[in-house]
A and B are shown apart, each in its own frame.
Chain A
């Protein structure tokens, strides 16, 4: 698949949150205001891009040559946990301002299904190194797009009247459901028309 095809697929057609249900916890939990939603979105994109590349290296240069592919899940989650710790340390040293903005989200990212999800999906799709990296960035941007839309809607919802049992999380799910309905407009037929 072409690189543009991969980008469109992961940002719109197979949007991680709205069609694949990966990364729902932060989508509901961290979308109460726009600023933290954007912070979370960029932190996830960053980690997903790095996780895609490093899991590709581990898979093709360690797991396959040693014939221990069954250890895929364990090794990927360890790589992601180490990566998140490393990114946290580096950002803290290089840019305290960025650390202040992203810092609180980083520990949460280890258990974000989207990050382990992209590593596993890259292997299942048999992507090469560059395709994995692009898929990682695109899936992260899809996450950013969904959480940004959600947070702007939720800020508006705060001032509206909502029936009491629906306040908070339930209305957030319903909003997400309506967003997913809108995202159904992006399908494979669209991709075919765009790329011919």
Chain B
């Protein structure tokens, strides 16, 4: 049972291994906090849609299942949109159009189609948590590389006297700005994907 949870983190990581959900992965990963916010939104929607698809799997007719899944997913996305706009307006603004675009994140529809409609609710919850955390992990890794090199900072949530921004000495004064731009996102993603492929190859040779 635990395997359903851990598989999404590394072995079947949705972004680096299966290569899904790329648009938000690159679009919002300019700052670590944006990645965390996006990840939280996706985990919530994925959890909700996996639970409902798995509960309704015997009631949804085979032929209209995709539109039905889309309605379920879109409902949860609307909840995320409203909650985020009300309580985290700054994050909502910086994620921009990518919040409603969680609807078309292929990971969510993919998990509904490939997993939740054939498995129990409990397994679907674990699957959703694992895949969601794997997605968040991937986004945070991309954002860490981009923010540290592109801005010379690491932006987290402000807590108490800590304003949420860690400054990297040396890079803060002369950051490599291209990492923060569109081109940098694609280059970083290419290099990270190559790194993951390389690690995977080494592991396979050892076995």
- Min CB gap B38→A, angstroms: 12
Q: Tell me the nearest residue of chain A to B190, going by C-beta.
A: A173
- Chain A 1-29 near chain B by CB (<8 Å), digits 1 or 0: 00000000000000000111111110010
Query: B22 touching A120 by the CB < 8 A rule?
Result: no
Name the B residues within 8 Å of A111 (CB-CB). Answer: 104, 106, 109
Question: Do the beta carbons of A170 and B197 come within 8 Å of each other?
Answer: yes
Question: Once the chains are docked, how many angstroms separate the CA of A173 from the CA of B26?
Answer: 11
* A174→B78 contact, CB < 8 A: no
- Please tell me if the beta carbons of A24 and B23 are within 8 angstroms of each other in the complex: yes
Chain A interface residue count, CB cutoff 8 Å, equals 43
Nearest chain A CB to B61 CB, angstrom units: 16
Q: A54 contacts the other chain (Cβ, under 8 Å)?
A: no
18 A-B contacts (beta carbon < 8 Å):
A19-B182, A21-B23, A21-B24, A22-B27, A25-B20, A73-B81, A74-B78, A77-B70, A78-B67, A78-B74, A111-B109, A116-B101, A166-B190, A170-B190, A174-B187, A177-B184, A180-B181, A180-B186
Q: With a CB–CB cut-off of 8 A, which chain A residues contact B101?
A: 22, 113, 116-117, 120
Tell me which residues across on chain B come within 8 A of A152, comparing CB atoms: none
- Least Cβ distance of A105 to chain B in Å? 15
With A72-B100, A111-B109, A112-B104 in contact, do A24 and B70 touch (Cβ < 8 Å)?
no
In whole angstroms, how far apart are the Cα atoms of A184 and B66 in the complex? 38
Is the C-beta of B103 less than 8 angstroms from some C-beta in chain A? yes
Q: Is the CB of A165 within 8 A of B201?
A: yes
Expressed in whole angstroms, the Cα–Cα distance for A113 and B79 within the complex equals 19
Give chain A's interface secondary structure class: helix
Q: A21-B26, A170-B194, A171-B190 are in contact. Are A181 and B183 (CB under 8 A)?
A: yes
Residues of A within 8 A of B183 (CB): 177-178, 180-181, 184
| B35-80 with Cβ < 8 A to chain A | 66-67, 70-71, 74-75, 77-78
The distance from the CB of A109 to the nearest CB of chain B, in whole angstroms, is 10
